[in-house]
Amino acid sequence: MRLSRYRFRVAAVAVCLTALCALAGAVAARVYHGTVLTVLVTGAALAAFAIGFLLRNKPSWLSAAVSFGGLAAYLLVSFVLTDDGAEPFLQTILDALVNAVPRTLTALIPVEPAPDTVGVPVFLTWLAAGLACEFAVRYGRTLLGCLPPTLLYAAGLYLVGPNAGPAVTVTVVYCLIAGAALAVTSAPPSRRPDRDAHVDGGAPGRRATLLGSVVGAAVLLVAVAALAPMATRLVTTSPGDPRELVEPPQLTDIDLNPLVRVPEWAKNPEQELFHAVLDGEATMRLAVLTEYDGVTWQAGGDFRTAGSVLPGSGDGGFSAEVEIIELGGKLVPAVADPATVTDLPIAVNLATRCLLTPDGLATGDRYTVGSDPLVVDPASAVDARVDLSDAVSVAVPPGAPEFMTTIAEYITATYDTPYERAQGLAVFLSEHYAFDSEAPSGHDYPTLGFFLEASVEAGGQRGTSEQFAAAYAILARLVGLPSRVVVGFDVPGGASTVTAAQGLAWPEVAFDGVGWVPFDPMPADGAMPIPPQETLEELEDEPSEEPEESAGAGEAEDYNDPALEDDGGDFDAEAAADAERVPAWLWWALGAFAVVCVPLLLKARRRWRQRRRLRGGTPAERVAGAWSEVLDAAARAGVRIGPHATAEEAAARMASLDAGIEGMPGLVNRAAFAPGSVEEPDAEAAVRIAHGFVRASRARVRGWKRVLT
């Protein structure tokens, strides 16, 4: 019977700890794409624990060696299942082993299961399961066996960071399974009933432990349910994201300022940049530039490593297959908005949704981009307000040329609505300036001032799409329109070779509820430009009125700002929230009450256990319970008896306590080896001896231990 109980207990602990390791490994899978990682870590937990469980009675070195071999084989299988076949398999394995840790920590959400991103979770899950099996099954230390999966659980939460919601359900299930494992905890090898016949308290002690664990788990769940709402109000910060600690991919000069590539393309229009096969005619973006410092336009935000599935995207139903010829650089052309990228390592800028490959583009590189095309209807922006949510898109660095201010005043005085001003500005530039592929490169303030104001004879009033787009974006901000510059290519549908002549830059303006709307400030072919001074002089001749303050000035209060509206008439929301918070003194009071209750609970537990041992069960079990009380009392008094000591040896060790236990060793041996010969009077005698020994040894117990326990 005892052997069967032991085997059931060990099997139950093994099942519980395997489930804990699988749950802990699957915590990180919340930020992975699909269910591949969940399946892999669950299989790793099962395989590692199965090896440890089957070899639990073999030498520990043998179990470790077999487990290491199983880990190597399982990692190899994981690499095979997640490999896309783009590189030789041996090279993929070496790359995954060398770069697994940094790529796992820096991969963008959702992480694409690949050899270099599944290796770390699988390895840690296998390691946690192997250690848990050794601690809990081989050495019988179930509480210690719960430590590896708990550490793995914490590591998974750190990897996820703020990129997923709270794992409340998983945490509760994890705690319940851990409580079940502790409730049916197995005995250490030295006390296994299939190896020794020493009496260590028998079934009553184990039943007490089981009931105590169940009661403790129930109390813990009730406490969590009652206090969790109050505790959540005290949490004011989100967890840190380890990806923020990693330096983003380094950019080359042409990637930092891609706008300077436009005049180079204009001078070499026949240069072949890449082959493309598109599902339909589209514009492929190379870079989106939002920040301007008076010298250069740059993209805002950092590029973060991503898998083949990009975060925050759709299904990528629009396909574009690309083969690089002479494009160069690290920026990757793609139809906006990219959703999936295959056959090329990718980093993505979450602010602009532009792509970059860390190793740079080389001739012959092939990749496929699945996109969700951004369809913007300009008509929907006619009556829309501008989107001022991003302060960067309306920032104008100091030092703008005076001629730019003059043009901005003309646009403000001539047009009324934001859309009319955006379209009117595009018309103004297209009618008053000419395209010249030989125009010098540059888009700093002096260059743009020369482009806008200098005479045609001096080389002004002509430029490439670099100057047109950059000048438009600055002028748009001067009239209160949020703007940015985009560099890309006009690509026809089907298969084609994209040349430098198709490369260009264009401006976009943000409208609330519509998005970024592109505008074309480029002149029509063959059009004769009108000198801008003539149009601006007409404005000066007219009676001038004080222009309305632009929406981007930011000095006057916007009474239409929804942030200033009274939502429900409650201006004291913050004060009400403060009133709902739990006072700090209440938490201190609850903590003090919990500390006071601990000794009382320990005393009640000891009394209940004593009652179960001395009054429940058969006469042989009561003798075993009385002996357990004697051993516990001796331990409290400072005399510890080893698990291998016989009853006579234990009685000799306890002689120093001056508490008589004569006759007890004989009763204990009879209860262990001939339980049927033990009768009720024998049990009553053992109980009297136990009570007397407990009272006599109490004087040797330290004062703090008597108070607390």
| DSSP for 68-109, written as a single string | HHHHHHHHHHHHHHH--SSS-HHHHHHHHHHHHHHHHHHPPS
Q: Which residues contact 467 (CB under 8 A, 6 or more apart)?
A: 439, 442, 443, 447, 448, 451
% of the chain surpassing 90 pLDDT: 31
Residue 378 pLDDT? 83
Residue 174 pLDDT? 85
DSSP class of residue 138 equals: I
DSSP class of residue 341 equals: E
C-alpha–C-alpha distance, residues 467 and 444, integer Å? 9
- Among the ranges given (115-124, 266-275, 457-466, 660-669), the one the predictor scored with the smallest mean pLDDT: 660-669
Q: Is the pLDDT of residue 551 over 50?
A: no
Per DSSP, the residues of 646-682 read -HHHHHHHGGGG----TTHHHHHHHHHH-GGG--HHH
- Among the ranges given (135-149, 337-351, 588-602), the one the predictor scored with the smallest mean pLDDT: 588-602
Rounded to an integer, the average pLDDT of 280-295 is: 92
Residue-range domain boundaries for the chain: 2-243, 253-378, 379-547, 585-708
Rounded to an integer, the average pLDDT of 645-665 is: 76
C-alpha–C-alpha distance, residues 664 and 669, integer Å? 9
Sign of CA dihedral 552, 554, 558, 563: positive
Residue 224 pLDDT? 56
> Three-state DSSP class for 349?
strand
Residue 198 pLDDT? 35
DSSP class of residue 504 equals: E
Stronger pLDDT, 506 or 254, i.e. the higher one: 506
C-alpha–C-alpha distance, residues 96 and 72, integer Å? 13
CATH, domain range 379-547: 3.10.620.30
Report residue 580's pLDDT band, with 50, 70 and 90 as the boundaries: low
Residue 197 pLDDT? 32
Report residue 555's pLDDT band, with 50, 70 and 90 as the boundaries: very low
Tokens of 201: 């308290």
Residue 539 pLDDT? 64
Q: Is the pLDDT of residue 222 over 90?
A: no
Of 187-191, 305-309, 613-617, 698-702, which has the strongest mean pLDDT?
613-617
Cβ(613)–Cβ(622) below 8 Å? yes
Q: Is the pLDDT of residue 308 over 50?
A: yes
Burial of 237 (0-12, 13-18, 19+ CB in 10 A): exposed
Cβ(490)–Cβ(498) below 8 Å? no
C-alpha–C-alpha distance, residues 106 and 304, integer Å? 7
- Among the ranges given (37-46, 299-308, 405-414, 505-514), the one the predictor scored with the smallest mean pLDDT: 299-308
260-279 pLDDT, tens per residue? Answer: 899 999 999 999 999 999 99
Buried/exposed code over 545-584 (b: 16+ C-beta within 10 A; e: otherwise)? eeeeebbbeeeeeeeeeeeeeeeeeeeeeeeeeeeeeeee
- Among the ranges given (67-71, 148-152, 199-203, 491-495), the one the predictor scored with the smallest mean pLDDT: 199-203
Q: Is the pLDDT of residue 80 over 80?
A: yes
Sign of CA dihedral 324, 328, 330, 333: negative
Tokens of 288: 């989106």
> How, if at all, do strands 434-435 and 462-463 pair?
parallel
Residue 221 pLDDT? 58
Cβ(48)–Cβ(126) below 8 Å? yes
Residue 446 pLDDT? 93
Stronger pLDDT, 651 or 575, i.e. the higher one: 651
> Three-state DSSP class for 207?
helix
Stronger pLDDT, 566 or 654, i.e. the higher one: 654
Q: What is the mean pLDDT of the chain?
A: 80
Q: Is the pLDDT of residue 450 over 90?
A: yes
- Among the ranges given (123-137, 183-197, 528-542), the one the predictor scored with the smallest mean pLDDT: 183-197
Helix, strand, coil % in the chain, rounded to nearest 5: 55, 10, 35
Tokens of 333: 């052309």
Give the Cβ contact number of residue 61 at 10 Å: 8
Report residue 500's pLDDT band, with 50, 70 and 90 as the boundaries: very high
Rounded to an integer, the average pLDDT of 1-17 is: 75
> How, if at all, do strands 318-324 and 354-356 pair?
unpaired
Stronger pLDDT, 542 or 594, i.e. the higher one: 594
